[in-house]
Structure 1
Amino acid sequence: MGSSPPLLVLFLATACGCCALTPAEVLVVGNRNSPVSRSIIDYYISKRGIPSQQVLLLNTEVDEEISRAVFDREIAEPLGSFLKKRNWVDRILAIVTTSGVPLKIAGSEGRATVAASVDSEIAALYADFSGTAHLLPGPVPNPYFRSEKPLSHPEFPVYLVTRLTGYSLSDVRAIIDRSLAARNRGVVVLDQREPGVEEGDNWLQRATHLLPKQRVLHDETTQVVRGASNVIGYASWGSNDRSRRERNVGFHYLPGALVTEFVSTDGRTFQEPPESWSPGPPGKDRTLYFGGSTQTLSADFLRQGATGASGHVYEPYLPLTPRPEVLFPAYLSGRTLAESFWAAIPALSWMNIVVGDPLCRLIGQ
């Protein structure tokens, strides 16, 4: 496979460049009851030129966690009514939620649960709006998983849902600004937990072989990569790596950089921890917890300079986490942030979230 990956990337870049998502295909969903949500919307639509009629303000709770009944009544129902009234069920391809829109739907533990992220539930609603309700409980196979095509309806019955959020309004504005400055340069850091004995490490190895050699920093040791420069992508085990106990590994991220981790609850909250908090091993000492866990947080990467990140609101189980061997080749080929992440995520109606501007795309150099 020595010379083929660069040719593959070049081919896909040519194929995807003229087919990227456009502002006309994006719906922005906020919460009328959240001043931060409204501020994010105003900033985002002005930066991306999204018409104000493509904004839906919900009247819903501002809590991060809601019940399934609240989701159905205050999010799914008004969203469906909005799209159907305008005949936009097929026209809209990407949906952006914001801080202030509920983050997760409560439920029991395990795979047979109605728990999910709000965004992954919205992603599954295309089927519902088209007349075939998706099944509950548990995850639904993502029809866009591993696709190399631009998203289209009804071919792919899914919405590409991303969230504009972070610890603060300034963090969100920064990721929007960085998305507009994204360029196709820099390296993808793939940090294994140990030499390829686990499924996630095997995915990282595959990603290495599918990317141009000069664009990859691949580490197979038990040590955590620290202090990397010119980073455009990062995949690791986060706090599930026994050598990782700090919130910041000192990377310099380029505009457009994406981060994904094999971590169960890195998207559990976007409330900011105290500066003294740091991730640690799971245990019974509740003083080490923040947001119900000791695990790393996706929002830290956004604060540190990343432009997009994935996360999980509850336990997703490793097979349903984003696949780096799909994500990074797609993104470096010129596909948008939303298309790249959702092509890499195996399931809908599950625990996954994607943070970032769906229109972000690496162009030029």
Structure 2
Amino acid sequence: MTGTACVCWLLGCLLACAPLVNAQDPLPSPDLNGETVVVYNPDFSQSRELAEYYAEKRGIPQDHLISLACPINDSMTRQEYDNLLRKPLFEALVRRGLWRLGQQEIKDPTTGKTMPAMTVAESAVRVVVLMRGIPFQIQRDAQNPKNTQEDEASVDSELCLLGLPRQPIAGALRNPYYGQDMRFQMFQGTPGLLLVGRLDAPDSDTVKRMIDDAISAEQNGLRGRAVIDLAQKTGAYQEGEDWLTRSAILFRQKGIPVYVDKAEAVLPDHWPLPDTAFYFGWYTTNASGAIASPSFRFQTGAIACHLHSFSGAALRSPDRHWVGPLLRQGAAAALGNVFEPYLSLTVHFDILNQRLLEGYTLAEASWNATPVLSWMNVVCGDPLYRPYAKGPGSSMGEGRDRDYALYQGTALRHPGEDSRELKRTLTSLAETRSKPHMLELTGLLSASEGKNAEAIDLLEHALSLYVIASDKARAHLYQARLYLLENRPSEAKATLQKMIDDPDQKDLPAAQAARLIHSQIP
């Protein structure tokens, strides 16, 4: 991702980044369902059926479903966008009484002169849901544009500005909601601004599953682990590493166990990542490694993003780029880019995760974390999805879900930088209740803090209590990776060999990862 020129432009011309605030209890829940419209393509198979299914599940009025015939391809020209989407949708919102127009004095961005214009004065719609079948790319018109002055865009990002005065289409435009410390219904600055989400995926069954999973996670709680896959990038790419690092710290503070991979390459094939509720990583062109392995499946309601320039460029493909494969693997939501966005203009992971944990919807959190509009970004998932509407750790659940709830509740009662007392409490809880899984989660906490030797001991303690082969295999692999980080290759190799030789572990998917790593150790 070419970010250097963009950073200078961004800092000089575009943004005054609002400071992050500490995560807090979820804010009161304004109901956005009645302020949501659903747009579908009658010429695309099952687009209408999916729109009706979603509207029923979310209680969206039938007169908020809007049919707009448009190409069934992934992309459309700028002229097609204007004539088949932008103008008809604007007119439909006015005609249905969802927008009231008023005259306003605006400044022409080209001439600098002030002129009267009809703009949205009052709005009864804040969220637009684009169903599978609505194109997601607007093709480039300009020939050889300068960097950051490209005129291609995602349909979704362009529609966010539907109710605002027309602006030049070349380049990105400042997002007035970026970094604002408030729910979108409280944001009064621009009545015509919209939050646009997309229920789209490689197939219709996946879209239905995304809808159902989001509602299930809201009702039952989103529990599990966060996976942060660093790429050890520096220089112009350091910003992305910083977002990931801050996200890991945030998850840790909110009592969500974090697996942080510090290797440059993506996590290897068949690397065990159970109960993954959040995944954030970078930087490969196509889905690969552990997340793409046939044995991997996301936790119900999971939110995922792999940062890459074209991560969402083929979001209806099950195996190209990242958004489609992430949804295929069970994520309820995945964020991406349909064209080259430049690093600074993509979604900022740290803000996104903070807002989600504060109780914002997926659409609110995503666009609050995205500095510009009329650009390349897409949010695939139910835009009304609020994984923490009831607050983190609001229900206990059963089995391993209960372990995550106990871990989170304990962590929230032990805030602060010094985690020693927290780890003592977790270890005692695990021992008295015979919960080796809790010991493993505590080991992940130590590892995320860089205390690898301590994490190795905790995993050894878990291994002494685990009875299920897949749990033992996972603990062995995690131990081996930590031994390598500690520059103890012989112990890493011995741990992997023990796993490979175990008749109960040698045929598990994780054993393939063990053999690969074993072969790479001198």
Q: If the length of structure 1 is used for normalisation, what is the TM-score? A: 0.84
The yes-or-no answer on 1:174 pairing with 2:209 is yes
C-alpha distance in structure 2 between counterparts of 1:139 and 1:200, whole Å: 19
State whether residues 222 and 300 of structure 2, in contact with CA within 8 Å, keep that contact through their aligned partners in structure 1.
no
Deviation readout 1:8-36 (Å, 9 max, x if unpaired): 43x241xx2x2344210111001121232
> 1:245 Cα shift?
5.4
2:371 to 325, 334, 346: 346
Instruction: Give the match's secondary structure for 1:211.
Output: helix
Match of 1:337 in 2: 362
The DSSP-based 3-state class of the residue aligned with 1:181 is: helix
1:186-335 correspondence runs (5 A):
186-194=224-232, 198-213=238-253, 214-215=255-256, 216-225=258-267, 226-239=271-284, 244=288, 248-249=292-293, 251-272=296-317, 296-335=321-360
Number of the residue aligned with 1:65: 75
Taking a change above 3 Å as real, the CA distance of residues 254 and 247 of structure 1, as seen in their structure-2 partners, is closer
**Corresponding letter in the other structure for 2:314:** T
Q: Report the equivalent of 1:56.
A: 66
Q: Partner of 2:132 in structure 1?
A: 99
- Give CA-to-partner distance per residue, 1:162-202, whole Å, 9 cap, x none: 11111111010000010111124222222110176622101
Quick one: which of 89, 100, 103 aligns to 1:79?
Answer: 89
Rate the CA distance shift 1:22–1:305 in 2: closer, same or farther, 3 A.
same
What is residue 281 of structure 1 aligned with on the other side? none
Residue correspondence of structure 1 range 33-182 to structure 2 within 5 A: 33-89=43-99, 90-107=123-140, 108=142, 110-127=147-164, 132-152=165-185, 154-156=188-190, 158-182=193-217
Cα distance in 1, alignment partners of residues 386 and 297 from structure 2: 19
Match of 1:114, as an amino acid? D
Check whether the contact 2:201–2:315 (CA below 8 A) recurs between aligned residues. yes
Could you say if the C-alpha distance between residues 21 and 326 of structure 1 is closer, same or farther in structure 2, counting changes exceeding 3 Å?
farther
Describe the SS at the equivalent of 2:301.
Answer: strand
Deviation string 1:321-358 (CA, Å, 9 cap, x unpaired) is 11110111211222111111111111111010000111
Separation (CA, whole Å) in 2 of partners of 1:28 and 1:162: 10
Task: Report the Cα distance in structure 2 between the residues aligned to 1:29 and 1:202, rounded to whole angstroms.
Answer: 36
CA distance in 2, matches of 1:12, 1:350: 32
Whichever of the two has the greater Rg, that structure is 2
TM-aligned CA distance change 1:72 to 1:154, over 3 Å:
farther
Instruction: Provide Cα deviations, 1:205-243, integer angstroms capped at 9, x if missing partner.
Output: 1222333343133332324334212222111104159x9
CA distance in 2, matches of 1:231, 1:247: 10
Aligned-residue offset at 1:59: 1.9
SS in 2 for 1:73: helix
Report the more deviating stretch, 24-33 or 216-225. 216-225
TM-score (norm 2): 0.60
CA distance in 2 between partners of 1:32 and 1:84 (Å): 21
1:103 Cα deviation (Å)?
1.2
Cα distance in 2 between the residues matched to 1:20 and 1:208: 29
The answer to whether the 8 Å contact 1:256/1:360 transfers is no
SS in 1 for 2:162: helix
Gaps of 5+ in 2: 1-20, 100-122, 396-522
Q: SS in structure 1 opposite 2:55?
A: helix
The count of corresponding residues between Structure 1 and Structure 2 is 330
**Higher relative contact order, chain-length normalized (CA < 8 Å, sep 6+):** 1
Cα distance between partner residues in 1 of 2:166 and 2:75: 23
Kindly indicate whether the alpha-carbon contact (under 8 Å) linking 2:306 and 2:336 is maintained by their aligned counterparts in 1: yes
| CA deviation after TM superposition for structure 1 residue 298, in Å | 0.4
Q: 1:355 to 1:159 in 2, by over 3 A?
A: same
CA root-mean-square deviation:
2.3
CA distance in 2, matches of 1:19, 1:135: 36
Contact 2:32 2:127 in 1 (8 A): no
Shift of 1:88: 1.5
Residue deviations 1:30-78 (CA, integer Å, cap 9, x gap) = 1121232112112111111111100110022111111101101110001
Query: What is the Cα deviation at residue 246 of structure 1?
Result: 7.0
Structure 1: segments with no counterpart, 5+ residues: 1-6, 278-289, 291-295
Match for 1:27 among 21, 37, 40?
37
What amino acid maps onto 1:86 in structure 2? R
Q: Give the conservation status (yes or no) of the 8 Å contact 1:184–1:332.
A: no
Greater fraction helix:
2
C-alpha distance 309-20 of structure 1, shift in aligned 2 (>3 A): farther
Q: Which amino acid aligns with 2:173?
A: V
Asked if structure 2 preserves the Cα contact closer than 8 Å seen for 1:106 and 1:115, the reply is: yes
1:147 CA drift (Å): 1.9
Q: Take 2:69 and 2:91, find their aligned partners in 1: how far apart are those partners?
A: 14
